[in-house]
Amino acid sequence: MLSVQPPAPQDAHDRLVLWNIGLTLVDAARVDRAAYAEAFRATTGRPLVQLPQMAGRTDSETFFEALAVNATGPQPGDPAGEELLGRFAAQLAGAYRARRDLITKQGRLMPGARDAVVQVWRLPGLVQTVLTGAIRPNAFEVLRAFDLDRYLDTEIGGYGSEVYPKGALLLNARGRAAEKYRADFTERTTLYIADSIRDVEAALIGGARSIGVASGRCAAGELRDAGADVVLDDLADTEAVLAAVDRLTVPVRS
């Protein structure tokens, strides 16, 4: 449950902002890696020797790539692979839940993240949620740990629990938001704020503008070249974040 409810669906909304979590809002990489390794071993019976690059990928995509690089088992589309993915997701949620107390001890908010989320939440006519590669239970754990969930309508978000790439997750989230808020969130009024090239590409595929935040493993120039509409070094300048969000989500009035 959200600790502070989002504005009621009957209120007028015409702007949708989606936030990536990992390395955009929160750095919980140490917890992520430990939970992933535990879940992988529990599911496959083998150690995770090599963890694939996770930036911009969903947990389901990362899992199948981990199977490939560790020469462990089936691939996407194989019924055995889908069954294995379900078992892995359950193990991953349990491993993360067991590390709940470590999220704030070993993790941290990215510079300016909390102020940015709070201030964007206050913008008129706007609803915000998350679009993350993390499975839903683990995303909730992180958001609650850093007290961000109250500012996000997590019900309509996109999560790595769904076996789709992020571009499809964005489309799904737009559809859920449109249904709940009875609004038409267009490509010109939907915005994705994230830190990787793959996230920028997901925005282009899913019908959204994007703010690339060079707080992850991608440099500002890489995000710009990938097609981000605005690139920020980080979220520390709240006024710059608000100005970019406002400019990129202004509805076209007839």
Out of 39, 69, 103, a domain closes at 103
Out of 103, 132, 157, a domain closes at 103
Highest mean pLDDT among 31-35, 60-64, 249-253: 31-35
What pTM value is reported for the model?
0.89
- pLDDT for 1 beyond 70: no
**Cα–Cα distance list, 45 to 74, 79, 111, 178 (Å):** 14, 19, 38, 43
pLDDT tens string 54-76: 676 788 888 888 887 775 655 55
Out of 77, 103, 129, a domain closes at 103
- pLDDT for 176 beyond 90: yes
Residues 21, 133 share a domain = yes
Residues 241, 115 share a domain = yes
Number of separate domains in the chain: 2
Q: What is the mean pLDDT of the chain?
A: 89
Residues 67, 150 share a domain = no
Q: What is the mean pLDDT of residues 83-110?
A: 95
Cα–Cα dist 104/107, whole Å: 5
Residues 65, 191 share a domain = no
Q: What is the mean pLDDT of residues 200-218?
A: 96
Report the candidate in 57, 27, 29, 56 with the shortest Cα–Cα distance to residue 212.
Answer: 56
Query: Residue 239: which domain range?
Result: 15-27+107-248
Cα–Cα dist 40/63, whole Å: 8
